[in-house]
Amino acid sequence: MDEDAQNVMMEMQQLQQNLQEVMQQSEQTENELNGVKKALKELDGDNGQVYKAVGDLMVAKDRDEMEDELKERKGDLNARLKSLNRKEEKLQDKLEETQGKISQNFQ
């Protein structure tokens, strides 16, 4: 295998690793987003006292303030998820391009 082919193979391996990392980050972000959505849904149906976990403690929190915090977090997570999805698409495209180069080298 010549040096160019080795470089392309190394690039492909790096792209695969980066893609895997981005996919894991997307999954973690989606999980956190689902938790925030669930918390907002619970707040919507509850007019009683709300608490926030701070370390090992549960601290009483103003309901409206908590709702605002969760909505802001939801927006942040949605933006992060969109960014990760765009990054994943770019990596997929680059990976396909690199696989094409490898196929050409072996023909």
What average pLDDT does the structure give for the chain?
Answer: 91
Instruction: Give the total number of structural domains in the chain.
Output: 1
* Residue predicted with more confidence, 40 or 104: 40
Amino acid identity for residue 99 in this structure: Q
Alpha carbon distance 81, 29 (integer Å): 6
Range of the domain at 64: 3-105
Radius of gyration of the chain (CA): 22
pLDDT tens digits, 52-90:
888 999 999 888 899 999 999 999 999 999 999 999 999
Task: Answer yes or no: is pLDDT of 1 > 70.
Answer: no
CATH assignment at residue 94: 1.10.287.370
| pLDDT in the model for residue 104 | 78
**pTM listed for this prediction:** 0.83
